Amino acid sequence: MSAPASSAPTASNALFDTFARAPLAFERGEGAWLFTPEGEAYLDFSAGIAVNSLGHANPTLVAALTEQAGKLWHTSNLFRIPGQERLAERLVAASFADRVFFANSGAEANECAIKTARRYHYVNGQPERFRIITVEGAFHGRTLATLAAGGQQKYLDGFGPKAEGFDQVPFGDISLIKAAVTPETAAIMIEPIQGEGGVRAFSNGYLRELRALCDAEGLLLIMDEVQTGVGRIGKLFAYEWTGITPDILTLAKGIGGGFPLGACLATNEAAKGMTPGTHGTTFGGNPLAMAVGNAVLDVVLADGFLDHVRETGIYLKQRLAALVDQHQDVFDGVRGEGLLVGLHGVKPVPEIVGALRAEHMLVAGAGDNVVRLLPPLTVGRDEVDAAIAKLEAAAAALAPARLEA
């Protein structure tokens, strides 16, 4: 059968047809800007979906990767990797954790978290405790297990039976999580702010109640900080705003600054079942990734950097609130924290994303008709002002014609 006709340029037919790609390609980047081969500049407020945490072609990351590339790329985890040990020690020193496992992506980090939680109860003599409670609207990855953890039917359809062991509860009602706990429950897994789910934040009180519930029931608390971690909301980790700590935490996206890198952090107690042979990875923690991850921390943990993120995040939300007031026929609310911010649309999000692309600004859509703004953490007021100007132009283009009084 012939392929359906399309009015837009298409990607190579040699690729799997799993992405609805925009008819755009970029040749280079600098900071918060991307440039096409023709030299057109686009303001990047998606940052590879919260990945390019320090912007494009960041000189610190380029230098670290280039230096390491001239030395050693890969040895495997059959041997010690000094950069891996250093990055793990730094993450431990900056967090609740005692142990770190490195992977290549958020999905792999979450797979490790799931296995760590189940293995914990197994070595405690309770192998029946393997189920994990998650919240509807969550997104934990694209593997079969992490799809089941997220529970979104649109991602599960067509891939056979859903992986066993995950129980979803509706967003925001702590009593429903309490009611979902059974003798088979091993853990609760949650994103402090649901990114793909529409930039929906859980209150600090809700997260504190989860911690208390886990302590009372002997459960592990897993925080998926693949999108919120590494400074995205103004602290190195989102849990630092809550007054509690998880037992297991996952990272990816921003920790590599654009290089594939994920991590699963855990306490000694939570990780006690992860002994030699229970888990592994070929590429995870490779010298190239570790060089970049350490360089990211060099920048993010430098004096004043997270202060800058917090200040810029406040300024961005203030400007967005004013934008919503002026364009209520296009937007009706602002969500999120720091530099993980969502605009709830009155117009359909695909239309808003398209109008912004016409203004040479890149954003990401999310569930519940939300436009996500995920700029590099290095942006300042100038980039925010440029983004607001483009948002205003896009909103004006989308607004229905107003009748003169």
Residues 363 and 328: beta-carbon distance below 8 Å: no
- The Cβ of residue 366 has, within 10 Å, a number of other Cβ atoms equal to 26
Residue 405 has pLDDT above 50, yes or no: no
Residue 400 has pLDDT above 90, yes or no: no
For 81, residues 6+ apart whose C-beta sits below 8 A from its C-beta are: 75, 285, 286, 287, 290
DSSP-derived secondary structure for 357-393: HHTTEE-EEETTTEEEE---TT--HHHHHHHHHHHHH
Is 317 a catalytic site residue?
no
* Residues 293-309 pLDDT 10s: 999 999 999 999 999 99
pLDDT of residue 403: 39
Q: Which of 139, 166, 202, 259 is catalytic?
A: 139
pLDDT of residue 11: 61
pLDDT of residue 379: 98
Q: Coil, strand, or helix at residue 345?
A: strand
Is 224 a catalytic site residue?
yes
Q: Which of 224, 235, 237, 347 is catalytic?
A: 224
Q: Give the percent of the chain with pLDDT over 90.
A: 93
Residue 110 has pLDDT above 50, yes or no: yes
Residue 48 has pLDDT above 70, yes or no: yes
Is 368 a catalytic site residue?
no
Residues 201 and 368: beta-carbon distance below 8 Å: no
| Paired residues of 30 in beta bridges | 33
Average pLDDT over residues 257-263: 98
* Neighbour-count burial of 159, counting CB atoms closer than 10 A to its CB (0-12 exposed, 13-18 middle, 19+ buried): exposed
* Residues 54-68 pLDDT 10s: 999 999 999 999 999
For residues 191 and 101, give the distance between their C-alpha atoms in angstroms, rounded to a whole number: 19
Mean pLDDT of the residues in the chain: 95
- The Cβ of residue 156 has, within 10 Å, a number of other Cβ atoms equal to 16
* Residue 10 binned pLDDT confidence (cut-offs 50, 70, 90): low
Q: Which residue has the tokens 């203004």?
A: 359
* Residues 296-355 pLDDT 10s: 999 999 999 999 999 999 999 999 999 999 999 999 999 999 999 999 999 999 999 999
H or E segment and range at residue 297: helix 287-300
pTM for this prediction: 0.94
Q: Which of 235, 253, 317, 347 is catalytic?
A: 253
* Residue 1 binned pLDDT confidence (cut-offs 50, 70, 90): very low
* Residues 139-196 pLDDT 10s: 999 999 999 999 888 899 999 999 999 999 999 999 999 999 999 999 999 999 999 9
Residue 404 has pLDDT above 50, yes or no: no
